[in-house]
């Protein structure tokens, strides 16, 4: 079992590599090697019993993808992306990485497939996003709701999904696209992403630090933990894709809660002192951006196919405490 992870230096890529190193197997088969690629050199995961090669590469450079897949990895995780805010700010860069590089990768796999006379047909797991949806939304977004992204990032992800479905239908590879909900609690320092507060208001108080809440407590959103996201990727790598038919892109499950419910969960898990560290400081810009985001994702198909996420926001908080804080809260 040879694995390739593109975007291996990001939060999800790093955790995925760590998990695979710990497991030593993927889809019940021993891992023989893992290639980790990102625009900056990824770090090898601790304790891998298999060969790990780490390289920095710009996948928007047309020749790079062919080199990455020349070793014919059995499973390719494509997680690399220019994030929403940057893709909006730098139109060309967003299209170069999120669209062109994705197509170069798919095309390089196709060329390898053709060279192997059809014998090479890897599983491709593509990290898409609920940013493929654009307001106005129904109360809950069903599996057949259409994609009308309101950002260039969402547009590029939606195009990636279409390409993945077509390349799979044609038999060049065996692809599955998974739309990740907002990942919460994100580890690390607060960042400037508009969605950052969803994590900040949990992570910072748990660490004894103050956090700012820029929206009202009525705001509703769908979340899954980083651990659940890794679970989605691994399940996507082993799923019997016959069950997907031609519809190979799926919204992942998550728990839909209001910010008020997030805070209530924090109170239950960490007490009043933690909640007291949250300062309400309304920010109109962030409120406007967040108003355009999906509130509830139905994700029935994904659940039926065995994708699982936390069933309460308290569980999401507990996952953070276990995985990032070694069980200790401030």
- Residues annotated as catalytic are 153
Contact 148, 130 (CB under 8 A): no
Smallest distance, Å, CB 148 to a copy of itself?
5
Residue 148 touches a copy of itself, criterion: CB under 8 A: yes
Residue placing its CB nearer to a copy of itself in the complex, 98 or 262: 98
Say how far apart CA 141 and CA 26 lie, in whole Å: 32
Q: Are 211 and 205 in contact (CB under 8 A)?
A: yes
Please, what is the minimum distance in Å from the beta carbon of residue 87 to a copy of itself? 10
Give yes or no for residue 169 binding a copy of itself (CB under 8 A). Answer: yes
Q: Give least dist CB 39 to a copy of itself, A.
A: 23
H or E stretch at 162: helix 152-169
Distance CA 176, CA 241 (A): 8
Rounded to the nearest 10 degrees, the angle between the axes of helix 313-324 and helix 226-238 is 90
- Backbone dihedral angles phi then psi of residue 190, each to the nearest 5 degrees: -55, 140
Residue 175 engages a copy of itself in binding (rule: CB under 8 A): no
Q: How far apart are CA 24 and CA 135, in angstroms?
A: 42
Instruction: For residue 83, give every residue at least 6 positions away whose Cβ sits within 8 Å of its Cβ, in sequence order, or none.
Output: 153, 193
| Nearest CB to a copy of itself, comparing residues 198 and 293 | 293
Cβ proximity to a copy of itself: between 51 and 247 the closer is 247
Q: How far is the CB of 104 from a copy of itself (least distance, A)?
A: 13
Note whether 145 binds a copy of itself by CB under 8 A: yes
User: Across-strand partners of 124?
Assistant: 76, 175
Pick between residue 153 and residue 307 the one whose CB is nearest to a copy of itself. Answer: 153
246 binds a copy of itself (CB under 8 A): yes
Q: Report d(CA 150, CA 129) in Å as an integer.
A: 12
- How many residues in the chain? 330
Residue 140 CB, nearest approach to a copy of itself (Å): 13
Contact, 20 vs 31, CB < 8 A? yes
Least distance from a copy of itself to the Cβ atom of residue 84, Å: 13
Torsional sign, CA 204, 209, 212, 217: positive
User: Checking phi first, is residue 148 left (phi over 0); if not, alpha (psi -120 to 50) or beta?
Assistant: beta
> In which residue are the tokens 């298999």 written?
50
Q: Residues near 224 by Cβ (< 8 Å), separated by ≥ 6?
A: 180, 181, 182, 183, 184, 232, 252, 253, 254, 255, 309, 310, 316
Mask: binding to a copy of itself, 108-137, rule CB under 8 A, as x and -? --------------------------x---
Give the binding range for a copy of itself (CB under 8 A) out of 44-52, 122-130, 155-163, 190-198.
155-163
Contacting a copy of itself (CB under 8 A), which of 28, 117, 146, 240? Answer: 146
- Taking CB under 8 A as the rule, does residue 214 contact a copy of itself? no
166 lines the binding site for a copy of itself (CB under 8 A): yes
Q: Which is nearer to a copy of itself, 238 or 300 (CB)?
A: 300
Judged by CB under 8 A, the stretch of 54-62, 153-161, 178-186, 322-330 that binds a copy of itself is 153-161
The pair phi, psi for residue 58, each rounded to 5°, is -95, 105
Residue 150 touching a copy of itself (CB under 8 A) = yes
Q: Which of 129, 152, 222, 295 binds a copy of itself (CB under 8 A)?
A: 152
Residues lying near a copy of itself in the complex (CB under 8 A) are found at 91, 134, 144-150, 152, 155, 158-159, 162-163, 165-166, 169-170, 246-247
């Amino acid at each position: 079992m040879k694995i390739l992870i593109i975007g291996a230096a990001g939060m999800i890529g790093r955790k995925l590599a760590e998990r695979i190193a710990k497991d030593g197997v993927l889809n019940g088969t021993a891992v023989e090697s893992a290639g980790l690629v990102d625009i900056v050199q990824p770090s090898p995961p601790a304790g891998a019993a298999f060969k790990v090669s780490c390289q920095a590469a710009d996948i928007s450079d047309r020749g790079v993808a062919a080199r990455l897949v020349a070793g014919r990895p059995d499973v390719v995780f494509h997680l690399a992306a220019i994030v929403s805010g940057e893709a909006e700010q730098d139109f060309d860069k967003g299209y170069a990485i999120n669209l062109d590089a994705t197509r170069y990768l798919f095309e390089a796999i196709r060329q390898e497939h053709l060279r192997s006379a059809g014998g090479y047909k890897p599983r491709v797991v593509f990290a898409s996003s609920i940013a493929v949806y654009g307001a106005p939304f129904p109360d809950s977004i069903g599996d057949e709701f259409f994609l009308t992204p309101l950002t260039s990032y969402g547009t590029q992800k939606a195009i990636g999904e279409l390409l993945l479905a077509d390349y799979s239908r044609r038999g060049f590879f065996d692809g599955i696209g998974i739309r990740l909900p907002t990942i919460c609690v994100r580890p690390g320092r607060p960042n400037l992403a508009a969605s950052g507060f969803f994590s900040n208001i949990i992570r910072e108080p748990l660490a004894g630090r103050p956090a700012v809440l820029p929206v009202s407590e009525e705001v509703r959103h769908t979340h899954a933990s980083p651990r659940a996201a890794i679970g989605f990727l691994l399940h996507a790598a082993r799923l019997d894709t016959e069950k997907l038919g031609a519809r190979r892109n799926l919204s992942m499950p998550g728990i839909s809660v209001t910010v008020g419910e997030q805070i209530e969960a924090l109170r239950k898990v960490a007490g009043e002192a933690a909640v007291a560290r949250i300062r309400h400081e309304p920010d109109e810009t962030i409120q406007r951006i967040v108003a355009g985001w999906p509130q509830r994702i139905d994700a029935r198909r994904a659940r039926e196919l065995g994708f699982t996420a936390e069933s309460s926001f308290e569980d999401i908080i507990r996952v953070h405490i276990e995985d990032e804080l070694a069980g200790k809260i401030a």
